[in-house]
Chains A and B, each alone.
Chain A
Amino acid sequence: MTRAIQPPTPTAWLSTLLLSIGLVQASLAEDTSTDEPYSSQQLAVLAGNCASCHGTDGRLAGAVPAIAGRPASALESRLLSFKRDEIADTTIMDRIAKGYSDEELAALATHFASIDKQ
């Protein structure tokens, strides 16, 4: 049976995150700065799904482009455009991007921008 859920609203997400951060801060403080909503572990899980088509850390270039090391602003704007059906000839990323909140897409953009291309 398929259950459908709504993507979390930014507010609900943030409060969940703030709560989570509070709970895990003691053990994660060294790699979670206070203005970053996602721990590095959480980002790794979020970004893990991208690797299945873009290669580990988003570095594989081929028919599917590499995403590592691109400017965060370009990645974020591209992801948001996919989500909003603003890019003609899209095959799959429109369907994928709709599964994430704008905040999650922004965090993914920042994450992949911070990874060296190779």
Chain B
Amino acid sequence: MSQDNGRSGLTRRQLIQGMGAASTLPLLGGVAPFAIGNQSAGRVVVIGGGFGGATAAKYLKRANPAIDVTMVEPAEVFYTCPFSNLFLGGLRELNAIAHGYDELRGRYGVKVIHAMAEDVDPDGHRVSLSNSDTLDYDRLVLSPGIDIRWDALEGYDEAAAEKAPHSWKAGPQTELLKRQLEGMDDGGTFVMVAPENPFRCPPGPYERASMVAHYFTQHKPNAKVLILDAKDNFSKQGLFTAGWEQLYGDRIEWVGLSNDGRVTRVDANNLEVETEFGTRHQADVLNVIPPQKAGWIADRAGVTDDSGWVPVKAETFESQRVNDIHVVGDATVATPMPKSGFCANAQAKVVAAAIAATLEGSTAPDPYWANTCYSLIGPEYGISVAGVYRVQDGVIASVEGAGGLSPTDAPEATRALEAEYAVGWYNAICQDTWGTEA
């Protein structure tokens, strides 16, 4: 890896150009200890090429092109969970949620390695890869997403997921569920098992139920949707419930925890599930969204806690447990920020700025984060929840008076606008993260 091009003058000019800012003041040399003489601008390894990882890599290079950035991601094509429900609903092709790494490589000079990160040695500041390579880092960014907890729900293991897909990591699992829906007889029941909090994309199960119901209105007019939920409340519940009633009548039934909605056993061979109090439900297509945890490389790096998720320092998203490792996205404990692609992207930008500042020997800027989660109930019926976040007293806090839900009494025109903006958002965040032109 190149480590000899980080001279301070060059670094600063590139930094300024990267920010689009102009300067008429003379350069003051020799004030940032890490940028003097032949010192490298620093080596950063990013593990994961999703919303968090790809954004971190890009924004590190935007902050300072002289930082040596290497991103490790097994997949050459990344399928987003956001808008995978639109694929299930027949509103979008799978290739319209696929993204690659050409911009990171070609425009930003990120070294992208398609391999699996297999281990992290925090003391040696070294990552080992499945292709036998090792990468040394000054700072490591982990954006590992989620892993399924295969031991958490009786009967639901990797083999079961081939019959009753989770489709909670987009790609082949999403295609499998789509094929099953297409193959289902009219009059059948799609059963979805929804997990307790916390999990990736809190409104996701309910948008999926909406999109499957939409598909049924088009292709299986007598089919039903049954959601068996391990909790009594869910994201945007009032908005979803009102939208379901308006668009789908009684096609969607939701059973919460208090009404024996918590599934405790899955029989994937027979497409049957059993609840806490012994009620059995027969499905024609069974979608099990199981309990989750941080992606397993986080365990290898030693940054997870007993919950299976990653506690981080609020200001910089550096691990609370291991120095020089920053973690972003769904893997982190970042409440009140949800586990969303938007938040992963926002967290990654703050982490990139903090690392760039640290490597230069300057103070990290104050963090600002925002979130907007759009959900489609129908093709022209969108709803959203938003938040703006800052650090207060050392913890992440929602800014009072900002954010919140779409209004409950909004006219149809507003729902239609939000559906349009949902697409606008998706196009923008994918451009911002992977450079994808819609």
Contacts and interface: CB of A to CB of B under 8 A. Distances in A.
Interface stretch (B197-205, B281-289, B387-395): B387-395
Contacts of A99: 370, 387-388, 399, 401-403
A45 B23 contact: no
Contacts of B23: 30-31
A71 interface: no
B417 interface: yes
Q: Is the contact region of chain B dominated by helix, strand, or loop, or is it mixed?
A: mixed
A14 interface: no
B79 interface: no
A64 B422 CA distance: 9
A7 B417 CA distance: 28
B403 A4 contact: no
Contacts of B335: 1-2
A48 B346 contact: yes
10 contacts: A27-B32, A29-B25, A30-B25, A41-B357, A46-B368, A49-B370, A51-B428, A52-B370, A99-B387, A99-B402
A93 B359 CA distance: 35
Contacts, number: 188
Contact of A63 (B27, B404, B420): B420
B362 A24 contact: yes
Contacts of A45: 349-350, 353, 365-368
B438 A62 contact: yes
Nearest to B25: A30
B113 interface: no
Contact count band on B: 35 or more
B12 A30 contact: yes
B368 A49 contact: yes
Contacts of B12: 30-31
Contacts of B27: 30
A44 B372 CA distance: 19
Contacts of B414: 89, 91
Interface in A59-110: 60, 62-64, 89, 91-92, 95-100
Interface string A16-51: 000010011011111101000001111111101101
Contacts of B19: 31, 40-41, 43-44
Nearest to A29: B28
Interface string B337-364: 0000010011001100100110011110
Interface of B: 12, 15-16, 19-21, 23-28, 31-32, 59, 62-63, 335-336, 342, 345-346, 349-350, 353, 356-357, 360-363, 365-370, 372, 384, 386-388, 390, 392, 395-404, 406, 413-414, 417-418, 420-421, 423-425, 427-429, 431-432, 438
A6 B396 CA distance: 13
Given A41-B63, A91-B414, A55 B431 contact: yes
B425 A48 contact: no
B366 A42 contact: yes
A48 B59 contact: yes
A52 B421 contact: no
Q: Which of B31, B342, B365, B423 has the most CB of A within 10 A?
A: B365
Contacts of B396: 3
B418 to A, nearest CB: 5
Contacts of A60: 427-428, 431
Contacts of B363: 20, 23-24, 27
Q: Which of A43, A89, A99 has the most CB of B within 10 A?
A: A99
B224 to A, nearest CB: 31
Contacts of A114: 20-21
B234 to A, nearest CB: 16
A4 B424 CA distance: 29
Given A44-B62, A48-B368, A92-B418, 4 more contacts: A3-B396, A6-B399, A26-B28, A98-B402
B390 A64 contact: no
Contacts of A97: 402
Q: Which of A31, A45, A97 has the most CB of B within 10 A?
A: A45
A33 B20 CA distance: 15
Nearest to B342: A52
B404 A95 contact: yes
A48 B58 CA distance: 12
Contacts of A95: 386, 402-404
Given A27-B361, A30-B27, A41-B365, A92 B421 contact: yes
B384 A91 contact: yes
